[in-house]
Chains A and B, each alone.
Chain A
Amino acid sequence: MEQSFAARTLRDLAAVLIVAIFMFPIFWWSLSSIKPYSAIFNKDGPVYFDFEPTALNYKVTLLGRSRVESALESGGTYGAGGASSYDSRQTILDSTLVAVGSTGLTILLATLAAYALSRMAMRGKQHFIFWILSQRFMPPLAIVIPIMFMFRDMSLLDSRLGLIIAHTLINLPLAVLLLKSFFDDVPKDVDEAAMIDGATRIQTFRRVVLPMVRGGVAATAVLCFIFSWTEFLLSLYLTTSIRTLPVKISTFVTSTGTEWGFITALGTSAIVPSFIFILLVQRHLVRGLTLGSLKE
């Protein structure tokens, strides 16, 4: 049905409004990251564009400059704060390694598990699948202390590997179930055709079925990456010297004040890697990859 001009305009307006509401916090965050101290803490109300942009916050968090040095350079004032380090370069590297590592490990294990669950007959499969899902019912807080003790005995505390394993554990159930549904969408006939063509089970998986679900794998990888990138609790408990971004940012709330400038600068920077990751996988996130395999 042809929509009237008014209806179309109204619909577009609603869409713009909703996007604006969701985008505003990110906008405000990134805007604050380039504000000088005086603009962040303006006593007369929020400052929108009436300020001198400064790169000070980024220089401190991303380039490791001393705050006093940077402030003097730009001739601005600087706020309170103790002697804690605001240099976050190592943190970004650690976070990236942990997120990429746990995503990779999750996908490796979950694709194999999901394929097996989707294709192979097994007594009590439904119960097993439910048991996998039930692992997600538990709040991470309930298991973080036991995990801490186990990791201590295995010398995994305060290591990137330990954090990668912990994030993989949390991500696995959802990844397995999600991927299983994608594998279920690929008809078994395709496996059988490949086997008659001479492929072994593992060749069928690697060369035929896995490429057909790569959209699903990409979507799952994005979810795993974002979870690991933003995870706070496990990282806080299981590490001391290695800090991921959420934990690092939380240390910017100090006994002498909250460093809003550094928090917003690092927060804004933290969006970039996950944005890049999503850009990399999004070309696989197209629907209808199995299109053409079957008569629809």
Chain B
Amino acid sequence: MASVTVRNVVKKYGDLQVVHGLNLGIEDGSFVVLLGPSGCGKSTLLRMIAGLEPITAGEVLIAERVVNAVHPKDRNIAMVFQNYALYAHMTVYDNMAFALDLRGTPKDEIKRKVDWAASVLNLGDYLERYPRQLSGGQRQRVAMGRAIVRNPEVFLFDEPLSNLDAKLRVQMRTEIKELHQRLKTTTVYVTHDQIEAMTMADVIVIMRAGVIEQKGAPLDVYDNPANLFVAEFIGSPAMNLIEGVAEAGNGGPAMRTKGGALLPLSSRFKVAPGRKLTLGIRPEHLTIGETGDIATEVSVVEPTGPEIHIYCDFEGKDVCAITRERGSWRHGAKVGLTPDPERMHLFDPESGRALEKA
């Protein structure tokens, strides 16, 4: 096990700079998820840690040792790829034994380790099969088995679940998390799926366009997004964003929307009247009723089972509210939405940064 440190790392392809001086400390034994839309540089960062991609500038340290010039095979890492990258001409056993065999491990020790990995991953019955004879989930487990037999210091996962169907993905998510709790190996996991990130991570790192937008514990990031990008990116359905101007209301600060609705703000926000604001409110913090601060009409109703997502039209934009009440919401019905002032987020529309609460 080892810590991973990324210091001022820059990646350029020719003149195109895709990673802009990243700094990231990954603690020994932690499960860190790199999350971001495609093209944000998360996979590139992972591949630089793995040694598959040269680093243009900066340093990557594994276990306090600078590894910029160290070949992947000497970094003591293991990686699981999105498309598994199994050796098709080898049996499951040989796939897992390959790395040990290359290191000249004695045969009986290889057998012991592969058997151990197979029992951890429930692959015991499939050792003599070829990858083509396995299902998607089993192949993914072989890819993981190949990684764990070597007892590496760091696990790297590059979107390992995105090729699996939805049900299997949920199952494998739990399995990977259990595996981490059992082995306690430092793990860096890349995904664009925020549910995966939220459920598995100790620390989420949200990236966009080659920079880190926010880093923190999953719920911390969810509850206190640092900027508009993170606010919109994390959460499904996404956070509702309403633009307006601050006003001194009757009982405290308030915001006047473009369409003229007045929304009371939490008194913990200190905003000068006249300041332009973007208000963020998560769908679950909007109460839907017959009347409310926002008078609107229901446009779409999406029952998911545990809850109902109700999309309403407000000043030309969709606003989503989530309720657990079983009501008879219908398209076109007149409703009122009331945001919970204590769960509001305010952002500066220019910089996108979140405004501090007092």
Binding site for B on A (CB under 8 A): 187, 189-190, 192-200, 203, 207-208, 211-212, 214, 288-295
Query: What is the total number of residues of chain B having a CB less than 8 Å from a CB of chain A?
Result: 32
Q: Is B133 an interface residue (CB 8 A)?
A: yes
Residues of B118-155 contacting chain A, CB below 8 A: 130-134, 136, 139, 146, 150
Q: Are A199 and B102 in contact (CB under 8 A)?
A: yes
Scoring B82, B99, B130, B146 by chain A CB atoms within 10 A of each residue's CB, the highest score goes to: B99
Q: Are B81 and A292 in contact (CB under 8 A)?
A: no
Nearest Cβ on chain A to B205's Cβ, whole angstroms: 22
Q: Are B89 and A212 in contact (CB under 8 A)?
A: yes
Q: Are A293 and B102 in contact (CB under 8 A)?
A: no
Q: Are B163 and A196 in contact (CB under 8 A)?
A: no
Pick from B51, B102, B132, B163: contact of A197, CB under 8 Å: B102
Nearest Cβ on chain A to B188's Cβ, whole angstroms: 13
Q: Are B79 and A192 in contact (CB under 8 A)?
A: yes
Scoring B77, B87, B139, B150 by chain A CB atoms within 10 A of each residue's CB, the highest score goes to: B87
Q: Is B98 an interface residue (CB 8 A)?
A: yes
Q: Is B85 an interface residue (CB 8 A)?
A: yes
CA–CA, A289 and B139, complex, Å: 16
Q: Is B346 an interface residue (CB 8 A)?
A: no
Q: Are B102 and A198 in contact (CB under 8 A)?
A: yes
Pick from A194, A207, A212: contact of B88, CB under 8 Å: A212
> Do A197 and B98 form a contact, CB below 8 Å, given A290-B88, A293-B84?
yes
Report the nearest B residue to A288, measured CB to CB. B132
CA–CA, A208 and B88, complex, Å: 9
> In the complex, which residues of chain B have a beta carbon less than 8 angstroms from the beta carbon of A212?
87-89
Q: Is B103 an interface residue (CB 8 A)?
A: yes
Q: Are A208 and B99 in contact (CB under 8 A)?
A: no
Nearest Cβ on chain B to A118's Cβ, whole angstroms: 16
> Do A196 and B83 form a contact, CB below 8 Å, given A292-B133, A292-B139?
no
29 contacts between A and B (CB under 8 A): A190-B85, A192-B52, A192-B85, A193-B79, A194-B87, A195-B73, A196-B50, A196-B72, A197-B98, A197-B99, A197-B150, A198-B99, A199-B73, A207-B98, A208-B87, A211-B89, A212-B87, A288-B132, A290-B88, A291-B132, A292-B88, A292-B131, A292-B134, A292-B139, A293-B84, A293-B86, A293-B88, A293-B131, A294-B86
